[in-house]
Structure 1
Amino acid sequence: MNGFDRLAQRVRVPPAALAFVATLALAVAVFAIVLHTLRSDTSLADRSSIGLASIQALAVVAARRLPLVAWGSSITAVVLATIWTGGESWVDAMTNSYLLVLGLIALTVPVWASAACWAGTLAVGVLVTVFLRPDDWLSELLELSALAGLVLVAGAAVRGLLAAHRSLRAEQAAVIRQRERTALLEERARIARELHDVVAHHMSVIAIQAETAPFREPETMPQTFAAIRTSAVTALGEMRRILGVLRADDTGVLPQPTLTDLEEMAAAVRATGTRVELRITGDPAALPAGLGLSGYRIVQEAVSNAVRHAPGRNIRIEIDAGDDCVRLQVDNQLPATVRVIADGLPGFGLTGMRERANAFGGQLTAGPADDGWFRVTATLPIGE
């Protein structure tokens, strides 16, 4: 937005209307100045002076919309003033107003059109000199040609600067739009990753709990169904919180899970009949909220994979919250019949875990260990 547009917004007037008012005011000023100068400095009749001043004023108004008409009428008025004053070369009032019209034309037409206006000015000056032969015709012709050239070059330069400014503004707006689009896509990817982690973990736990329910003792059935209900309610609550950020009027201020909530997650998995060992050293509550959430999601995804691919097998979770980094390790026993890809588990889950670790400048590895367990390890540096 240029200064003219900002002025239009400040006075609450459309830019086109403000430009028309400014042009009209300039035309009135040109009419008054030219008329006064012709009446005081020349012997022209009032009717001729009013006519010439009116032509120059109308040329100012037409310079933006009809530049060729404005140039033709203005140069014609200059020639008529020269003829009506008895051969006086280039009447000052008419010449100055003509230069003003040239400047306005140069602001709206391409460079080749400005060059054509300068050539036309030179040609008319030569014709006037040939037929009228005024005094000091050579110096007057050279002076008019030089002044017209300078005005046209200055106008073309200003036009180029305005065009470059508009182009820069357009590019900046495009960059801002692309930046907003990138941020939106990143936010959608983050929400998709959160949804994947929540759904994959809780649905896996619920599925295992439901599968083992028929084989449990009758007296433990109430606890089994209560555990299933707890897992479902927790999953729905987290999904509702994550989807809530998509609403314009929802700030999503519900607390996010952190490494301090791992005991609840381990208890839910134990309810499926899986043995889960959880060992935490250090103080995970002192970790930054974002790092704690990412660590929780990494452990959650690793446990979900263990429940899905090795149901009923033991799981070990070790958390070491040090001063400079957090070390996470999730081990689960591998069934004898399971086939594990050398570089870890395929799919979106492992990619999401790596992205969470990389976001904090950490590292993550996943794959079978030498002792027959599948191991997921992650190191997350603690930044300032």
Structure 2
Amino acid sequence: MRGLVTWVRKQRWLLDLPLYAVFVAFGPNIADQQTWPVRMISMLFLLPLLFRRRYPRTVALLILIGVAVVYTNEIWAYDRGRSDLAMAVVLYTLVKAGDRWFIGFAVAIAGLDAYWGFTWGVNTLNPTLTIFGVVPLYLAAWALGAFFRTKEQLTEEERLRAELAASEEQARSRASVAEERTRIARELHDVLAHSMSVIVLNAEGAKLARHHDPDAVDRTLDTISKTGRSALAELRRLLEVMHAGEPARAPQPTLDQLRTLVAQSGRDITLEVNGDIADLPAGVALQAYRIVQEALTNMLKHAPPDATGRVRVTFAGPEIHVEVTNSGGRQPVAAGLPGSGRGLTGMAQRVAMYHGKLETGTLPDGGYRVSATLRTDAA
């Protein structure tokens, strides 16, 4: 049953079939008698109405031509009732379709029909038929066509607005996901670059110290093991965040872990913290930690093994200042260590997020200095 209903809805011309039958059988007519030839002509005259939904222009043109023939032929003029009904359907169809040129044509024919109605009506002593029958019929057809056209336009506009809103929401969602994935990828780069640098450089140091300082080798291997496990654990957490889509729940390092970070580097680095960093906003603390991490990674990549370093973190007022320096040397033992080339770019992006300032450059002794200031009130 449901399939039959669906099929009938698709065959829209079936909806016009009862209307067509009513027009042919019971349409008003001025003549006292109707012969079958006249009825057959009426059936052919009204037949195009069955296809008005699919071919509105062609059907309108055929009906308008037929109406014009009715006006100019005294025999068919007696069948004016059906032509008026057909004309009303044509007006409704054209106005609903919004075809301006054909609407103008139809209005001209309707005006001729009204004029012909008055002249014919005077001759038959019945001019009220046009005034109270035909003209209101045409006006009603026009009004119905305009009403349903406006309704369809409003429905279509509402549908387009809903689609646009859904599309914009999807775009915002995709942009948000992409932005978060970019941030996570940057975090992943920083973590792995630092951890791999620590592992590689400590492994090289252990290889050099294995003959004259076995205890140092054991300590170095222990550092490598701890660093590797820590890197794997953080990598696992970050991957879980990317799959779960809940980045806010991922545990992030804080400035309280700077001492561990410095110790894992395996270098002679001094850490100095001024101010109560526990009061820092979480976002600022994370970015400050990552800046220190990236600066130490660069030190491990480019500074010689005997280079010393200093990390100074100062929190005062609306700003936190991070400074990482290292002494110079002639040849970096890890010159062949691959880098991404994104360290300074990543630090610059982190500083820009909090309306801060980044300064980097070579020191007079050949060392390097990274100085970053972040605004805590921009968090």
Question: What is the rounded CA distance, in whole Å, between the counterparts of 1:209 and 1:288 in structure 2?
Answer: 34
The alpha-carbon deviation at position 64 of structure 1 amounts to 3.5
- In our comparison, the structure showing a higher alpha carbon Rg is 2
Q: 2:345 aligns with which of 351, 358, 366?
A: 351
Structure 1 runs not aligned, ≥5 long: 1-12, 339-344
- Percent identical among aligned pairs is 28
Take 2:47 and 2:92, find their aligned partners in 1: how far apart are those partners?
A: 10
Secondary structure at 1:379 match in 2: strand
Question: CA–CA distance in 1 between the matches of 2:241 and 2:312?
Answer: 32
The match for 1:71 is 60
8 Å CA contact 2:262–2:269 kept in 1: the answer is yes
Q: Could you tell me whether the CA contact under 8 Å between 1:43 and 1:85 is conserved in 2?
A: no
Shift of the alpha carbon at 1:19?
11
Give the TM-score normalised by the residue count of structure 1.
0.70
Structure 1 residue 173: Cα displacement? 5.3
Matches within 5 A, 1:151-300: 172=165, 175-216=168-209, 217-248=213-244, 253-269=249-265, 272=266, 274-300=267-293
Task: Sort the Cα spacing of 1:123 and 1:91 in 2 relative to 1 into closer, same or farther, 3 A.
Answer: closer
Q: Any conservation in 2 of the 1:320–1:328 contact (CA below 8 Å)?
A: yes
Listed as ranges, the matches of 1:30-109 within 5 Å are 38=27, 59=49, 62-72=51-61, 75=64, 86=78, 93-106=85-98
Quick one: which amino acid aligns to residue 53 of structure 2? R
**Distance of aligned partners of 1:80 and 1:266 in 2 relative to their CA distance in 1, 3 Å threshold:** same
| One-letter amino acid matched to 2:376 | I
Using a 3 Å threshold, how does the CA distance of structure 1 residues 186 and 248 change in structure 2: closer, same or farther? same
In the alignment, the residues of structure 2 paired with residue 218 and residue 359 of structure 1 have an alpha-carbon distance, to the nearest angstrom, of: 46
Distance in 1 (CA, whole Å) between partners of 2:114 and 2:343 is: 86
What residue identity is the alignment partner of 2:323? Q
Q: Deviations over 1:316-335 (max 9, x none)?
A: 11112234222111111122
Q: Could you tell me which amino acid in structure 2 is paired with residue 284 of structure 1?
A: I
Distance 1:317 1:19, change over 3 A: farther
1:367 Cα deviation after fit: 1.1
Deviation string 1:104-151 (CA, Å, 9 cap, x unpaired) is 333xxxx4xx3135325535865997899623799979969x958888
Question: What's the C-alpha RMSD, in Å, of the aligned pairs?
Answer: 5.0
Contact 1:88 1:134 in 2 (8 A): no
SS of the equivalent of 2:53 reads coil
Q: What whole-Å deviation, never above 9, does each CA across 1:59-115 have from its counterpart, x for those lacking one?
A: 3x7443221344256557867998767375887655544432223333xxxx4xx31
8 Å contact from structure 1 (residues 242, 252) kept in 2: no
Select 1:380's aligned residue among 350, 365, 374. 374
SS of the residue aligned with 1:247? helix
Q: After superposition, what is the alpha-carbon deviation per residue over 1:291-330, rounded to whole angstroms, capped at 9, x for unaligned?
A: 2211111110001101111133111111122342221111
Distance 1:260 1:132, change over 3 A: same
Paired AA for residue 118 in structure 1 = G
Matches within 5 A, 1:105-184: 105-106=97-98, 111=99, 114-119=100-105, 122=108, 126=112, 134-135=120-121, 172=165, 175-184=168-177
SS at structure 2 position matched to 1:101: helix
Number of the residue aligned with 1:8: none
In the superposition, the TM-score normalised over structure 2's length comes to 0.71
Structure 2 gaps, min length 5: 333-338
Number of aligned residue pairs? 354
